[in-house]
Amino acid sequence: MSLQATPARSSRITKTRRTSASAALGLKRALSSPSSARPRKRLSLPSEKSVPCNDDDQLDDTGVIASLATDLNFRDVPQYMEYIRNNMFSDMPEKAGMNSTRIAQVLNYQRRMPPFVTISHVDALSTSSTKVEREIAELAQAGIVRRVTIPNRGVGAAAVGDGVALVREWQSLAHAHGVLSDHLKNKYIALMDTNPTSSTIPGIALTPPEISALSAAGFLTSSPATNNHSSFFAAPGASSLTSISTSGSRHAAGSLNAVGGISGTHHMHGGTSLSSRPITSTTSFNFSLPNTGTYTKLLSEARTHFSNILKKTKFKEAPLDMLHERWDGGAGATDRTSARGDFKGVLPGRTKKWKQFYGMRFEWILEECVGAGLVELFETGSVGRGVRLTT
C-alpha cells in the first residue's frame, strides 16, 4: 500500500515574484572613450523581488542610501556633460500615437535644447561635488567650459539655473546662426575667448546695432543694474572656486522681455532702445545661450511632476519600478494586443511624458531630482531600490 504525503499548506498568501524593472536602471555609457581611471563596480540589484500590493504599504528600509554614482564610470566633467546631454530624451517609439506634425514638433523641440547641464545633475553622477567644482574652475580658466548662472531660478542645489556648458558647443551655435553676420560671429567668439571666466562684457566692446542683433538671437542679455564695485563674480553665495558667467534672465533668452520689453526700454539707463541709448563705461551685458528659458521651464515642470507622483502616495515613497511606470504613464508596460493583433495599451503620445515633457527619460529626471536633493534612493531589501521625497 502506497502512502502519499500531502504537506500542510500555510494560510499565508504569497505574492507572485517577478523580475523588477528597476534592475534595468543600470545606465549605459553613451560615450565612445572609456575611462582610464580606476573602474567602479556597478551596484548589483536582486533579480527576484516581490511587488507591494498598493501605495498604502510602507517600504522596508535597510538603512542604505543608494547612489547613482556607482552606476557610471567617467573620468572628467566633459564626459558627464556629454552623457547627460545625449540621454535627456527617449527615442521616438514606433507606435507613438502622434501624427507627423506633432512628431516633427517634438523632435524639433528636443534639438533646440541648449548645450547646458545643471551642476546638480553632474553631482548626482559623481562621487565628489568638491572635486567637480574644482575641475569646473580649472576647465573654465582653460576656456573649455563656461559656468552659467541664471538668476531667479531657485537657490542652492535645487537651482535649475546653476549649470555649465561646453564652450565649443556654445560657439558652434553662434557659428551656425543664419542671421548674424560672419564679422559679428567672430567678434562674439573672440570676446568669449578673451573673457573665459568673466560674468559680463563691457557694453563699449560692441556697437549698439551689434548688441541689438546678439540680444535678438539670444546670445546676449542685459546685465542687472549693480553698483560700480559689485559683480556676479563676487556676489554673496557665489562659489569661491569658480567665476560665474551669468546667462539668461527671468525671461526666456532671445525673447523681447529678455532684452527689456517693448523696444528694449526701461531695463537699464535712459529708457531708450538698445540701438539708440548711449553706451557708457559702466554698461555691461551678459553672455547668454539661446533657449535657456525654454530649458529651465521644462526642467522646473518635470521636477514638480516627478515630486507630485511621490506626494500622492501615503508615505511619499515608491518602488523604483513602480515610479518608472507612472512617469511613463503606463505606455508600453506590456505588449497588449487583441486577437486580431491590434495594439490595446496606452499610446505614448497620450501620456504626459510625451505631451508635456517631449519624451524626457525617467532615468534622466531621476538623476536631476536626486542631485537637486528633492528625492533620495534607498535599498529596501525586498523590492530593490525605493525612492522617497526628502522634504
Kindly list the distances between the CA atom of residue 224 and the CA atoms of 27, 195, 291, 323, in Å, as whole numbers in the listed order.
Answer: 41, 19, 19, 41
Within the chain, strands assigned E span 17-18, 49-50, 65-66, 116-118, 145-149, 162-166, 201-202, 220-222, 245-246, 284-287, 317-319, 375-379, 385-389
Q: Is 296 helix (H, G, I), strand (E, B) or coil?
A: helix
Checking if the pLDDT of 238 tops 90, the result is no
Residue showing cell 541689438 = 212
Contacts 24+ apart (CB under 8 A), 323-327: 323/362, 323/387, 324/21, 324/22, 324/25, 324/362, 325/21, 327/353, 327/362, 327/365
Indicate the pairing of strand 375-379 with strand 284-287.
unpaired
Q: Nearest Cα to 44, choosing from 25, 18, 17?
A: 25
Q: What is the DSSP letter of 328?
A: T
The CA-to-CA distance between both ends of the chain, in Å, stands at: 68
Distance CA 85, CA 117 (A): 7
Q: Nearest Cα to 266, choosing from 302, 222, 236, 330?
A: 222
Checking if the pLDDT of 350 tops 80, the result is yes
Strand order of the sheet with strand 162-166?
116-118, 162-166, 145-149, 245-246
**In the structure grid, which three cell numbers stand for residue 87, read together?**
540621454
Q: Nearest Cα to 160, choosing from 259, 257, 258, 293?
A: 293
pLDDT digits (tens, 9 = 90+) for 85-134: 999 999 999 889 999 999 999 999 999 999 999 999 999 999 889 999 99
User: Phi and psi of 127, rounded to 5°?
Assistant: -95, -15
Confidence of residue 219 (pLDDT cuts 50, 70, 90): very high
Task: State the pLDDT at residue 334.
Answer: 46
Task: State the pLDDT at residue 261.
Answer: 43
Checking if the pLDDT of 332 tops 70, the result is no
Q: Which residues pair with 245 in a beta bridge?
A: 148
Mean residue pLDDT across the chain? 75
- Percent of the residues in the chain that have a pLDDT greater than 70, as a whole number: 63
Q: Which residues pair with 66 in a beta bridge?
A: 377
Checking if the pLDDT of 1 tops 50, the result is no
**In the structure grid, which three cell numbers stand for residue 293, read together?**
528659458
Q: What is the DSSP letter of 341?
A: -
Kindly list the distances between the CA atom of residue 246 and the CA atoms of 189, 197, 223, 284, 299, in Å, as whole numbers in the listed order.
Answer: 16, 10, 9, 12, 18
Give the list of residues 6+ apart from residue 192 with CB closer than 8 angstroms, or none. Answer: 146, 167, 170, 171, 287
Checking if the pLDDT of 39 tops 50, the result is no
Distance CA 244, CA 296 (A): 18
Neighbours of 76 (CB within 10 A): 15
Distance CA 291, CA 104 (A): 18
Q: What is the DSSP letter of 325?
A: H
Task: State the pLDDT at residue 346.
Answer: 83
pLDDT digits (tens, 9 = 90+) for 120-171: 999 999 988 999 999 999 999 999 999 988 776 666 667 788 899 999 999 9
Residue showing cell 522681455 = 257
User: Phi and psi of 278, rounded to 5°?
Assistant: -70, 140
**In the structure grid, which three cell numbers stand for residue 127, read together?**
562621487
Task: State the pLDDT at residue 227.
Answer: 38
